[in-house]
A and B are shown apart, each in its own frame.
Chain A
Amino acid sequence: FHLGYFAFLFQDQIIQLMNAIFSKKNFETLSEAFSIACATGALSRNRYHLPVIIVPEGSAAVSHHQPVLKLQVTNVMSQPLTQASVKLDYAKSASTKATVLQQTPFVLSGDVFELNFMNVKPASGYYDFSISVDGDNRFIANKVELKVKVSTEVGITNVDLSTVDKDQSIAPKTTRVAYPAKAKGSFTADSHQNFALSFQLIDVNSGAELTPHQTFVRLHNQKTGQEVVFVAEPDSKNVYKFELDTSERKTEFDSASGTYTLYLIIGDATLENPILWNVADVVIKFPEEDAPSTVQSKNLFVPKPEIQHLFREPEKRPPTVVSNTFTALILSPLLLLLILWIKIGANISNFSFAPSTIVFHMGHAAMLGLMYVYWTQLNMFQTLKYLAILGGVTFLAGNRMLAHKAVKR
C-alpha cells in the first residue's frame, strides 16, 4: 500500500527532475556532460520508471498532400520504443470542441508511429490531440496533448465585379471573372457610380465555405505608386463583399484620380495556397477641386523634425540690489531693539556663575547653532537626534537654574 503511494509521488518528482536535468543545452566541462549522460542512461534503463518522449516528426501539420501524422516515441536516450503501443485517445477541433476521432491506434512504420488523419476528412483548422503510450508499466510522462494543424487549399468562386449607380436609376452591370484570369475592360467609379466586388471562398477538397484571416482588396495607382488596401467582409451567407464609394474614400486616396489595378489577397495559416490575383483595372475619378497638384509619397521612415526641449523658465527674481537692501533693512529693527534695551536698563548684573547657569546658556547657544547647521546641512531626523541630546541637557540645567532663581526671589 505504501509502495503504490510512493511510486505515484515519485512520478511527478521524476518528471520534474528530468526537466531540470535536460534544461541546460550547453556544458562547459566534460565532467558535466558525463554526469548528464549518466543520468540519461539511468533514466532510460532502470527497473522502476521510464520517461517517454513523444514529439511529432517535422511539424505537426497534415494536409491532402501530406495526410499522415508522424510521431517519434522514444526514451530519454532517443531510442525508439518500438515495442510500445501508441494510441490516440481523442482528437477535438480547437474551435468547435467537437471530437472527430477517438481510440485509434498509431501504426509503427520503421522507427516512427503514423496515423492517417485525413481519412476522417477533417475540416481545415487546428485540432487538439491527446495521445497515450502504453506497453510497459514503467512508462511515465506517457500522455501528451498536441496541437495539430490541418491545412487545405482555397478556391475563389462566384467572383462578380459590378458598377452600381448611386441613384439606382440604371441597373448594375455585373461581370463574372474566373480565377486566375483578369477581367477584360476596365470599370469606372466616380461621383455617380460605385464599384462593387463580391466573391466566395471554398475549400477545394471538401466544398465547405472558408473564412480565412486575410481577405484584402488592394488598389494600386499605376502612375503615382500609391496603394490603398481594404478588407473585404463576409456577410451572413459567407459571401465576401467590397464596395468602393469615391466620396467616402477620397481621403485614403488623397483624391488622386487615375487607373488603379485591383488585386485580391487571400491568406491564412491553414491555407496551402495563398492568393495574389490581379482581378481588374478600375478607373477612379475624384471631383476635380480636391485633387492635389502633386502627390507626396508618405515616406514613414525619414527622421522626424527635432523637438526642441523648452526648459522651465526660472522664476523672475528681484535684482540683487533690492534684496541686499532689504536684508540690511531687516536688521534695523534689531538695532532698535538693542538701543531700547540699553535705554530701559536691561543688564546682566544678576548673572551668577553657577555651573547650571553656564551649562544652560551654552546648551541654549548650541541649540541655536544647531538650527543654523540644520538650515545648511542636516535633515530633520539628524536634527531631531541632536536636538534631543542638547535639549535634554539644556532642560535639566535650565530647570536647576530657574529653580535657584525662584528660591532666591
Chain B
Amino acid sequence: MVAEARRLGWSVASPSFSLSARDPHAPGQAWPRCKRWDGLCDSPRRGSVAPPPVFGSPWNQGLGWGASREVGSALSPNLQSARPGGACQRAGMGSSVSGSSSSLGETCQNGALLDVGLEDGGSLTKLAYYSTVQHKVAKVRSFDHSGKDTEQDHEPPYEISVQEEVTARLHFVKFENTYIEACLDFIKDHLVNTETKVIQATGGGAYKFKDLIEEKLQLKVDKEDVMTCLIKGCNFVLKNIPHEAFVYQKDSDPEFRFQTNHPNIFPYLLVNIGSGVSIVKVETEDRFEWIGGSSIGGGTFWGLGALLTKTKKFDELLQLASRGQHTNVDMLVQDIYGGAHETLGLSGNLIASSFGKSATADQEFSKEDMAKSLLHMISNDIGQLACLYARLHCLDRVYFGGFFIRGHPVTMRTITYSINFFSKGEVQALFLRHEGYLGAIGAFLKGAEQDNPNQYSWGENYAGSSGLMSSSPELCPTQRARSGTFDLLEMDRLERPLVNLPLLLDPSSYVPDTVDLTDDALARKYWLTCFEEALDGVVKRAVASQPGSVDAAERAEKFRQKYWNKLQTLRHQPFAYGTLTVRSLLDTREHCLNEFNFPDPYSKVKQKDNGVALKCFQRVVSALDALDWEERQLALVKGLLAGNVFDWGAKAVSDVLESDPQFGFEEAKKKLQDNSGVDVILGVFPFVRELLSRGTEVILACNSGPALNDVTYSESLIVAERIAAMDPVIHSALREERLLLVQTGSSSPCLDLSRLDKGLAVLVRERGADLVVIEGMGRAVHTNYHAALCCESLKLAVIKNSWLAERLGGQLFSVIFKYEVPAE
C-alpha cells in the first residue's frame, strides 16, 4: 500500500523483502513443549528470562506467581492424561522481582486474578493472568559495510537474525468451580514472589471461597468489586476488540450480526443478568452508576425451574425450554378474549398472564412447557425493565451480559424479542463475544491500574482464543463435554497504540472489509476452501524457512492441524471470531504461524528478492527518467501494479527482470501469482521518487510486523537506506524529512484504517496529508475498497484471484485503479 500526496502524502507499502538469515533454528535449539490448555497442540514458546519491560513492577501488588497454559491440564483430570510424559510442564515463575527463568513458553507475571464465579450460573472461575511471551522474531540488520564488498554477487543486502522478543499477553481462562482446589494447589506450587501478600479476587465466589483461598495460599484475598470489574472489562473489550458486540437476529444465517465499534463507546447501558439483574449506566471510563435492578434473573430461572421441573442444571433447563410450548401454560390474550382479539387489533399470542393456565386447570404440565413459559416470563420481564431504564436515561445502546445470556442463543433470542417488543425497535439489544471474561479482565486491569493498560492497544490472538459459542452445548454438542469446559481468551499487547486514521470520512461507519463472509455464504465457502487448499503450500514454506531446525516439520504439522481446525470451526461457526472476512482468515493464519514459531516464513524469500531488486533499481530508474513525462507516469503506475504481481521467488521472472529493466508487465502477469519484494523497490520507490521530484512530501508506511511476504517497517528502513546510497533524490528527501518512513501498526496483509499506529496518525494530521494511496489486493480490495476518506485517494491493485475477479466483474489480473475525490 502506498500513499501519495501532492504536497504531502503517505504510503503504506506492502511489498516484501527478503532477509538474509542465519538459521534461526539451529540444531540443539530444541523448542520446549508445553501442553496447551485445550490439550490440542503443543506450544513451543520460550520462557522469559528477563522481566517484561513495561508491565513489570507496578503489577506486583497482585499476586506474583507463575502459571502457564498447563494450569488447565493440572486442573482438569481428563486432560492431564493427555500430557506428554517427559515434557517440561513447570510453569514459568518469572516475576519482575524474582526474574526466575523457566524453560516454558510463558511466564505469568504478577497480577494474576481470580474471578471466582459463584452465583453465576455455570459456577465458573475465571482466572486472569499476565504473561510475557518470548517469541522468535526475525530481525533485519544492515551488514557492516566497511569490511565487505556489498556489491558482490549473491550477497544478501542485509542480514536476518532471529532474536527473542518479549511481548506481553493477557490470558483469561474459564473453568468450573469444581476445580478450584486444584487451581489453588497449582497456584501455590508455582507461587514465586514470596513478598506477595495479597491475591485479587472478584465474583461472588471470592466471598464464599475466601477462607479456602486464604488458607491454601496463605495470602490475603483482596476482593474487587464485581460491577466495577465488569464495567472496566466491558470498556476494555469494546475498545480493543473489533466486532466485539453483536445483535442477535433470529431468522438470519448466521444469527449473529457484529457491530462496527463506535469510536466513542459511551454512554451505554449494561444489563448484567446473573442470579439477579443489575442495570448500570456507563458514562465514561471511570464513571458509572447503578441505576436499577431486578431480583428476577438467572437465579430465578434456575431456582424456580429446578423446583418446577426437577431438572438440576441450568443448561438442561434451557434445553427443556427450547423444546417447550409456553402456550400450554401461559394465559394468552386469545384465551381471555376468545377469537375476538383479531377484530380488536390485539395480538392473540401476547401473554396476558404468565403461568395463568396453571392456576385454573388441574391438569399436569410438561417440564418443557413450564421451562419455556418461565424463560419467556423472565426474559420479557428483564427486557421490559431494560427498556424502561433505557428510556428514562435516553440511552439506545444496551449491552446484555451475565450467565443467563452467556453463550445461550435461546436466551439471546428471547431477550432480543422482548427488547424489540417493548421498545418498539428503538432500543437494540447488544451482546458481547467475550462477555464471560469481563469480570476477570476488569479485575485484572484494576489490579494493574498504576500501569494503566488502557494506554496500550491490545489485539485478540485468534490462535490462542476460543471462538464464540465454542463451549455452548446448544451449538457445539460434540465439541467437548460441558463438564470439561474451559474457554480461553488471549490478548496481545501491541507495541504501539492504535487509533483511527484522521482522514476517515466517518469513523463510526467505516467498515474495513469489503466482503462480509458471515453474510455471504457463497463467498465464505469459496474462501474457506481456498485457504484449505493453500495450507499445504504454507506448511511447506514454513518448513523451508527454517532448514536448520530439527523440529520445524513437526511444528509445521501442528500449525497445519491448528489452522485446519480453525477453518473447520469457521465453516460451522463463521461468527466464532466476529465477522468472518478474508482479513480475519489471513490474520488467523499469521497468529497460528506465530504460535508455532514461524514468525516470518518469508523472511529469506524477501531477503533474496530484495537483493535482486536492489540491483535492478538504478537501471529501472534511469530507464524511467529517459521517458517523457506522460509516458513516465504511465510506466510508473504500471510498475506499481506490476510490482504487485511479481513474485521474485520465481526464477524465470528474476531472469526477465535482470535482463530487461523495462520489465514486461504483460509477460510478468502471465507467469506470476503473488506480490513480492520487487513491489517496494521497483514499484513503490520509483513512484515515490517521482512524487518527491515534483516537490511532494511522502510518508511511506509499512507493516509493523511480518505478514506473508509484505515488506515490514524495519525492512523498509534498510531498503531506503540502500536506495539512498544509490539515488540522490531519495537521499536528500530522507535527510530533509520530505520522505518519512513509518509503521502502520499492523501485522496483517490487510489494513484496518481504524486501527493504525498513533505515530502515523499524528504525522498525517501534522503534515496535512491530502492524498492517500493504498496499494495491494489485501489493503485495497479485501479491505478499504469502499473506504470513504475526506481527502483524495487512489486504490490500486491487481486482482490475482479469478474468483474475486469474477465477483468484481473483471478477469484474472484485472487492474483496480480507483481514484476518488471526496464529495464536496
Decide if A and B are genuine partners: no
